[in-house]
């Protein structure tokens, strides 16, 4: 039986992390005013091939400022994902708006058919706006999530958005390093396709700044507004506001700090290496497990170079239950976790409007996420697979 602790997903600091953080501390620039924050923004923008980004203190705050800039407020509805982390939904409520939950596709991402079902069965166009006939609300936006490093079907979702005048806020918090290799959006990084995008650099993500995020948009005015929102809505570019503490609206303390940016700059230098390891380990898991004991790894969306953030083992026809497998793996020092409980089943959203969820409900108790850290070795993968095969035989 295995004796080595194998965690699910831990940060990996193989390069200049300590040096850049030490330098930031030595400079005494540790808060949101430091020079490494714009430097990190420029480096990420160059990496993703986009121009307009705002570094934030979390992915959640990046989503929130995107929705504020998009004008989402009370009386509005936003089409939201059922099978994802709840942070992709809560910012809708921060704005006083309501989510409408739709199903996922075979890659856990927002299903365009389910979005269309909602529109066809509940909505009508009135004066260029999509109106929910049952609630009278203006359906103003959708938040597709690129779950686990997959890609939502952006071609179809963007077509739907254009037809019904919807704003698209891409939640790319789980897919940093993932870009499109085929089709209409070939070459684009996830998060740069919709009207807004959000990234996360939380501790368990492909690359980390400790805690942090980034909002992506497509013009100077929007970028300027979102940047101001992260700093209590004080417009430091105007000399008089800078001196007199003039605040143009309700703002937030959402800016990334300089130490986080230092960490981010070092992590970005290793990102491609992390993605390579994660891709290699995914292939090893597939070789060891696919088709054995009623198990298979869920594939990533075709037509992308995925960062493969999290691996999803599907217990299709397995002798033991998902929860039993997780408990037994923990006894053998291997950390795993279930996929999230569905958002419409969570306390804050029990009364929210929800479309039928055949796919999400099928996945919810059959998926287990298995170790996927970017420093996981081929030997570690073999140990995890041997234990899984032993427990499911
Ligand atoms: C789908 C999704 N949305 C939003 C977030 C929020 O990101 P953060 O933890 O950086 O606030 C996360 C991550 O943790 C996430 O997985």
pLDDT in tens, 245-267: 889 899 999 999 999 999 999 99
Give the pLDDT of residue 241: 63
Does the pLDDT at position 340 exceed 80? yes
Average pLDDT, integer, range 95-105: 98
Q: Domains in the chain and their CATH numbers?
A: 17-267 (3.40.640.10), 272-392 (3.90.1150.10)
Give the pLDDT of residue 2: 78
Q: Which residues line ligand 1 (CB under 6 A)?
A: 58-60, 84-85, 87-88, 145, 171, 173-174, 200, 202, 213
Q: Out of 11, 84, 87, give the residue to mutate to test ligand 1, the one with the largest number of ligand atoms within 8 Å of its CB.
A: 87
Q: Please tell me what DSSP assigns to residue 336.
A: -
Can you read off the two tokens belonging to residue 165?
A: 């005048």
If we measure between CA atoms, which residue out of 359, 301, 372, 296 comes closest to residue 84?
A: 359
Centre of ligand 1 to C-alpha 238, Å, is 33
Average pLDDT, integer, range 81-101: 98
Percentage, residues of the chain above pLDDT 70: 99
Does the pLDDT at position 166 exceed 80? yes
Helix (H), strand (E) at residue 161: helix 154-164
Region class of 134: left (phi > 0), else alpha (psi between -120 and 50), else beta: alpha
* pTM confidence score: 0.97
Q: Mean of the per-residue pLDDT values for the chain?
A: 97
Average pLDDT, integer, range 364-370: 97
- Report the range of poorest mean pLDDT among 20-34, 139-153, 223-237: 223-237
Q: Are 175 and 191 in contact (CB under 8 A)?
A: yes
Does the pLDDT at position 238 exceed 80? no
Give the pLDDT of residue 101: 98
Rounded-to-integer distance, Cα 292 and Cα 393, Å: 9
Q: Out of 55, 83, 142, 174, give the residue to mutate to test ligand 1, the one with the largest number of ligand atoms within 8 Å of its CB.
A: 174
């Amino acid at each position: 039986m295995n004796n080595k602790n194998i965690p699910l997903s831990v940060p990996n600091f193989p390069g200049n992390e300590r040096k850049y953080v030490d330098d930031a501390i030595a400079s005494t620039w540790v808060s949101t005013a430091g020079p490494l924050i714009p430097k990190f923004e420029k480096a990420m923008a160059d990496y993703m091939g986009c121009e307009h980004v705002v570094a934030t203190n979390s992915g959640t705050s990046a989503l929130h400022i995107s929705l504020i800039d998009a004008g989402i407020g009370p009386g509005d509805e936003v089409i939201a994902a059922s099978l994802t982390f709840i942070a992709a939904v809560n910012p809708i409520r921060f704005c006083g708006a309501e989510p409408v939950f739709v199903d996922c596709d075979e890659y856990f991402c927002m299903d365009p058919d389910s979005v269309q079902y909602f529109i066809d069965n509940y909505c009508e166009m009135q004066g260029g706006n999509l109106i929910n006939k049952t609630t009278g609300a203006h359906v103003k936006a959708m938040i597709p999530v690129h779950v686990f490093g997959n890609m939502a079907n952006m071609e179809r979702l963007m077509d739907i958005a254009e037809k019904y005048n919807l704003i698209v806020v891409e939640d790319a918090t789980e897919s940093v390093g993932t870009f499109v290799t085929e089709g209409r959006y070939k070459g684009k990084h996830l998060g740069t396709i919709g009207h807004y995008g959000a990234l996360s650099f939380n501790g368990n993500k492909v690359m980390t700044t400790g805690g942090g995020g980034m909002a992506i948009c497509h013009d100077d005015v929007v970028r300027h507004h979102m940047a101001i929102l992260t700093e209590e809505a004080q417009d430091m570019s105007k000399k008089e506001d800078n001196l007199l503490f003039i605040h143009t609206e309700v703002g937030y303390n959402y800016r990334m700090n300089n130490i986080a940016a230092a960490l981010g700059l070092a992590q970005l230098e290793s990102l491609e290496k992390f993605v390579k390891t994660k891709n290699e380990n995914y292939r090893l898991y597939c070789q060891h497990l696919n088709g054995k004991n009623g198990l298979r790894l869920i594939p990533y969306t075709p037509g992308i170079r995925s960062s493969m953030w999290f691996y999803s083992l599907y217990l299709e026809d397995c002798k033991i239950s998902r929860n039993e497998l997780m408990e037994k793996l923990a006894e053998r020092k291997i950390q795993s976790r279930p996929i999230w409980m569905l958002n419409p089943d969570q306390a804050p959203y029990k009364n929210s409007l929800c479309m039928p969820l055949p796919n999400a409900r099928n996945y919810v108790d059959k998926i287990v996420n298995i170790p996927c850290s970017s420093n996981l070795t081929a030997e570690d993968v073999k140990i995890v697979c041997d234990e899984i095969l032993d427990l499911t035989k």
